[in-house]
Structure 1
Amino acid sequence: MAGKGRVSNENEKLSRALSYLLRHGAEKEGFRLLPGGFLYVDDILKHSNFYPFSMEDVQNVVESNDKKRFTLELDSVTGRLKIRANQGHSLEVNDLDLEPITDASDYPIVIHGTYLRPFKLIKKEGLKRMGRNHVHFAAGEPGKDGVISGMRKSCTVTIYLNLAKALEDGLKFYLSANKVILCPGNDEGVIPPIYFDKVIERKTGELLFSEGKSLPVPTWEFNPQAPGVVTAEDIAKEFDSKKGRKTNHRKKAQ
């Protein structure tokens, strides 16, 4: 059992490192993304942040990832294995193979997951990209009807989007390779609250917002221990912090 736990922990570390690199940190770490947001796996493994992971480790992480965050394929020209993140980028990526959504009836349930604390601002100002290229939505209730990605399992609030109204008013929506619905928002990168159909507190089923009308939010919204919005900048800071601790540990070992 200990062996399995150790492998799982290493897979999680590699998955997080790949997510950061492919979504946010490629340029900072000295890489240049290929068309479609890909990087060659052998180039990644030469980077000190990915020691001592192997090609097999990367393949295992991609195959076992329950949210299908990555695409792994052979380059048709070079024959080298390459990998990309399917969504969640703050980096500018060309040719990400996003499928435009034009018919709201194809996606009757479109939801965004958040928490009570940030919802206080969201209900006034709308959903923002928070440093990324798109706002993310799940194409249905997580865990139901094959929905595997689009929101965190820990989210305490679900925002149901009126996709038909948003499309009618000109907002653009896309479907990623791992079936996450993406929207860049309006010209300011925002999805205003007028497009919220309803908002529900997941644990209690309490209605917090309905058809454009905000309802009182529970007083425990202000619990300082409650999670907030995670931005691309937060992820970069966390990664840099862990990298610093890793470097210090190596120095002590020497």
Structure 2
Amino acid sequence: MTTKRLFLSKKDDFDTQISKSLSWILRHGAHKLQLPIDSEGFIDLVAVISSESLQGKCTLEDIQRIVKNNDKQRFTIRRNCFTNKLEIRANQGHSIQTVTSLELIPIKPDFKSDIIHGTYHRFWPKIKEIGLSRMNRVHIHFTTAIPKGKEHVISGMRNNCGIYIYIDFPKAFESGLQFFMSSNKVILSPGNDNGIIEPKYFLKIIDVKTAAAMAVVYDIFRPTLNDEQVENSDSAGKNMSK
């Protein structure tokens, strides 16, 4: 069987390498590895350790330590009350479409925290045009805070993002978009029917390096001017240049 190659850095320590392998198996690779996964995302832990990706590389104790110490609390281990077997899941980030019953709390209209998506400048032109996409995943990920330096870890956002996109939650909610909070406090949204959150629901965009509002640079929030407004604007500009 050919499985997806995991891009592990030689600089990663043992626990980080195993954590990355776990993330791929539990979020994306279960079906490729022929591992039964339930609607809540749980897989038999012994089967995971014995899978092609992890066989001979780690022990049960290794997995339990990694799950306990994971800085973003990406995983949950439970004991199945019917089989008495240990099971493990990723708390979010799945592309496996049959995982539909994660423990998600719907966010209500009175939610007061910021909803922020972190991304990179190379993705901004497409995001500006079509919005945020869940791609092949089940949800788009957000946080309620931003990292305070590169050593500060926040679930739901990488600490080296170049752009922060703030969502206008009242407007998005009023339009029917749904948002949820996961068990490790990541904000998740499936987007619209096409898996998109359109730019009209962006409240502000911040360049991380300069802390400047990128709306000024990219003009995505400036209203379209009619011919009369354009003419008046041109006249004003000419008068100022005299």
Q: Judge same fold: TM > 0.5, yes or no.
A: yes
Cα RMSD, aligned residues only: 2.3
**Alignment identity in percent?**
42
Query: Are the aligned partners of 2:135 and 2:195 in contact in 1 as well (CA < 8 Å)?
Result: no
Give the letter aligned to residue 41 of structure 1: L
Count the aligned residue pairs. Answer: 208
1:153 paired with 2:159, answer yes
* Residue 48 of structure 1: how far off its partner (Å): 3.0
Separation in 1, partners of 2:38, 2:199: 36
Separation in 1, partners of 2:65, 2:154: 18
Please identify which structure carries the higher helix content: 1
1:202 paired with 2:219, answer no
In structure 2, the residue corresponding to 1:207 is in which secondary structure? coil
Separation in 1, partners of 2:203, 2:213: 11
Matching of residues 182-221 of structure 1 within 5 Å = 182-209=188-215, 213-214=219-220
1:45 paired with 2:49, answer yes
Q: Identify unmatched segments of 5+ residues in structure 1.
A: 1-5, 216-254
Give the letter aligned to residue 115 of structure 2: V
| Structure with higher RCO (Cα < 8 A, 6+ apart) | 1
List structure 1 segments (4+ residues) > 4 angstroms apart after TM superposition. none
1:80 is aligned to 85
The C-alpha deviation readout for 1:116-139, integer Å capped at 9, x for no partner, is 111111011100011111111012
- Aligned counterpart in structure 2 of residue 172 of structure 1, from 165, 169, 178: 178
Matching of residues 11-90 of structure 1 within 5 Å = 11-50=15-54, 51-90=56-95
* Residue 70 of structure 1: how far off its partner (Å): 0.4
* Residue 167 of structure 1: how far off its partner (Å): 0.4
Separation in 1, partners of 2:189, 2:143: 12
Q: What is the TM-score normalised by the length of structure 1?
A: 0.76
Give the letter aligned to residue 131 of structure 1: N
1:129 paired with 2:134, answer yes
Q: Identify unmatched segments of 5+ residues in structure 2.
A: 1-9, 222-242
Separation in 1, partners of 2:38, 2:24: 16
Q: 1:143 to 1:78 in 2, by over 3 A?
A: farther
Q: 1:102 to 1:26 in 2, by over 3 A?
A: same
1:119 is aligned to 124
Give the structure with higher Rg (CA): 2
1:222 is aligned to none
In structure 1, the residue corresponding to 2:187 is in which secondary structure? strand
Q: 1:143 to 1:60 in 2, by over 3 A?
A: farther
Query: Are the aligned partners of 2:121 and 2:162 in contact in 1 as well (CA < 8 Å)?
Result: yes
Separation in 1, partners of 2:130, 2:38: 36
Query: Are the aligned partners of 2:163 and 2:207 in contact in 1 as well (CA < 8 Å)?
Result: yes
